[in-house]
Structures are given as C-alpha cells and as structure tokens.
Structure 1
C-alpha cells in the first residue's frame, strides 16, 4: 500500500468546497409578498417563478462545484504525495472555487436581459480559469508519475489526461456562446459539468494486475 501524504490537503479542500456550495444558496431570496396583489396561490407561484433565472444559475453552479469536488476526489486517488508547487496550485484552484458565487449572483441578475453579456462572459471566464487550474494540478502531479503512487492504473491515468485536455477549450466555447446568449452559455456549462462527471459514474472495469504498472511508465 502506498503511504498517503495528501490527507491535510484533501481535508482543507473539502472544507472550501463545502463553503462555496453553501454561499450559493444565500443568493436565493424572495421579496416580501404583497397580499393586495396576490389573489390566490397561483399568483404566489408566479411570483416564485420569477426566481427561475436565479435557480437556474444556482443549480448550474452547485452541480459544477459538486463535479469539481468529485473530480478532485478522483485525481487524489492517484496522487499520493505533495510538494510546494502542488499545494500552491491547489490553493489557486480553491480560490477560484470560492469565487464562483460572485459571477453566479451577477449572472442570476442579468441572465434574462439580452442586451447584457458581461455577466455570462465573467461566468465562463471563471470556469475557464477553474478548468485550467485543474489541468495544471493533474499535469504537474502525473508528469512521469511525479506525485502518483508506486503502483498506478496507467489506463485510468491516461484516460483522465485525455478528458481533461478538452476542458479549457470547451469553456472557451462557452465564453464564445455567452457573446450571443447568456442562457445558452449557462446550459452549455451545465452540460460540461455532466461530461466531467461521467468518468466517476462509469463502471470500473480495469482492475487486473497486468494493467497496473510502476509510476515511471505513466504517459506524459
């Protein structure tokens, strides 16, 4: 068994992810209802429905942060050691994660205003920065098995590397879409979150000993 040297990093990261997700829900607020204008429950439901854009942005950001936590857990199954560079890169990632509620609030305010695109662009840029930082963490740790365990599943490591290589490019596409339609850009970001969640929910098939190799055989 490999000795795990990332426990403190993972525990601290889990706490930051939890804070970021909690902050998202604080933006869901309902204005005081005016009884003089609400004739029945349907009118109240219509008032609640006006929070739709805020809920849309909340669900997308919540799910994306959740998927980032899922992938963080996934890569640190392979990363067994830390160094100063990895710790610094992880801090950068957490800074971006905890910042996500800020563009989410702005997006919820202007997502239904077709003349405003800045909020959606900032939203996309934030996720682009997050995907780039995630790539840096994985590329740095997995390069020639630098910080991976003594025994790693080479196929799984290369699979993660291939999938993550698409992340920054796809978020650039999301930013481009935001120039024309904020709702479509957010929907695309949601689909990206689903895409990056897929490896974790897919069945694991490669556990045979002959597919395990020393970390120095991992593809760069």
Structure 2
C-alpha cells in the first residue's frame, strides 16, 4: 500500500477540527462571567439564570462526542483513502465546525422554529455524511483493504440513525420544541437494528 494513501493524516486532521469545535462550544458560557460582574449579580446566577445555554452546550458536546466516536469506528475499517472519502469527510467536518453557531442560537432563542431547524438540520447533515462515509468504505475494496468487513447490522444502524435525525427535523417543522425529544430515540436504536435470530428448523 502506498504511504501517501494512508488515512492517518486525515484522521489526525479530523480530530483537530473536532477538538477546536468542542472548545468553541464553551466560549459563550465563559462570556457570561464579565456580564455577571458588570451587573453585580451573584456567581450562582451563571448557572441558575442560564439553563438554556448550559443545556445547548451539554447537548452539543454529547452529540459531537458521539459523532467523533462513530467517525473513529468508521476509520478503523479504512486502510487507504480515495477522493470520495476525502470529500465526504470534509463535508462532515463542515457540519462539526458549524455546530457551535446553531448551539449558541439555541442558548439565545431556544425553541424558535428557525433555530431548532438550523440545529437539527446540521445534525442531520452530519449523520448523512457518516452514512455516506460508511458505504464508501464498505463498497470499495481499495479503501477497506484487509480490514474487517462492515457488517449489515452496522450499516443498518447508520441508516436508522440518519432516519431518526430526519424525523426530528420533520417534527420540528410542526412543533419546534418537540424536535429535541425525538433525538432520545437514538438511545433505542439498537432495538431497531438488532438482527433477530433465525428460526430453528423443526
């Protein structure tokens, strides 16, 4: 295998972008301190008076962390990269880099339709990119090489996850505040994708 086709540099670069995005998430919270000092407010108000911003920070931190773990699992199956893989990976990095922006909007505007759709739409785009990455790896022997094949169950789980994000966007179009709760279905995802054991012949 050619050294220049090794995915290591692509993975390291992706890790750096994710780390920067996680750092940017907390900046709106740190900016609260000078505001509290100027207003003469007690320190406890940084928490008690800013639950929406704290919630949006924790939610986005968890989402980016989940995306990062999935990204690393995908690249465990990558032995070399091709142009489609690089392009889709950069699209995924774009969704990660953009995410702090809608996160800050959520903290300020909470359940306004545009804000929720912007946020959930960004998550949906990231999930679509993950699914595309997986199928590129799965479908190109030059990419996955001698790595363990991507199982049908795992591929199905990616499709289901993307479907859940899409459902969240649809629900948010009707009832913006309920779009977030649809994401809880991600915790039940294994129930939707677990393969049922084959029936034992009589």
Residue 16 of structure 2 corresponds to 15
Residue 169 of structure 1 corresponds to 163
Query: Segments of 4+ in structure 1 off by > 4 A?
Result: 180-183
Aligned residues: 183
Task: Name the CA distance, whole Å, in 2 between partners of 1:16 and 1:190.
Answer: 26
Cα deviation code 1:48-76 (max 9, x no counterpart): 31210001011111111011110111111
Residue 91 of structure 2 corresponds to 92
Residue 216 of structure 1 corresponds to none
TM-score normalised according to structure 2 size: 0.80
**1:172 CA drift (Å):** 1.5
> Is contact 2:165–2:183 with CA below 8 Å preserved after alignment?
yes
- RCO comparison, higher one (Cα < 8 Å, 6+): 1
| Mapped pair 1:5 → 2:6 | yes
Partner of residue 152 from structure 2, selected from 155, 158, 164:
158
| Mapped pair 1:48 → 2:47 | yes
Residue 121 of structure 1 corresponds to 117
**1:189 CA drift (Å):** 3.1
> Is contact 1:111–1:182 with CA below 8 Å preserved after alignment?
no
Q: 1:87 to 1:47 in 2, by over 3 A?
A: closer
User: Any residues of structure 2 matched to 1:51-66 within 5 Å, and which?
Assistant: 51-66=50-65
**1:32 CA drift (Å):** 2.1
Task: Name the CA distance, whole Å, in 2 between partners of 1:16 and 1:95.
Answer: 9
Task: Name the CA distance, whole Å, in 2 between partners of 1:102 and 1:16.
Answer: 15
User: Any residues of structure 2 matched to 1:135-154 within 5 Å, and which?
Assistant: 135-143=131-139, 145-152=141-148, 154=149
Task: Name the CA distance, whole Å, in 2 between partners of 1:99 and 1:190.
Answer: 22
TM-score normalised according to structure 1 size: 0.74
Task: Name the CA distance, whole Å, in 1 between partners of 2:27 and 2:181.
Answer: 22
> Is contact 2:120–2:165 with CA below 8 Å preserved after alignment?
yes
Cα deviation code 1:152-175 (max 9, x no counterpart): 1x4x53222010011221112111
> Is contact 2:116–2:172 with CA below 8 Å preserved after alignment?
yes
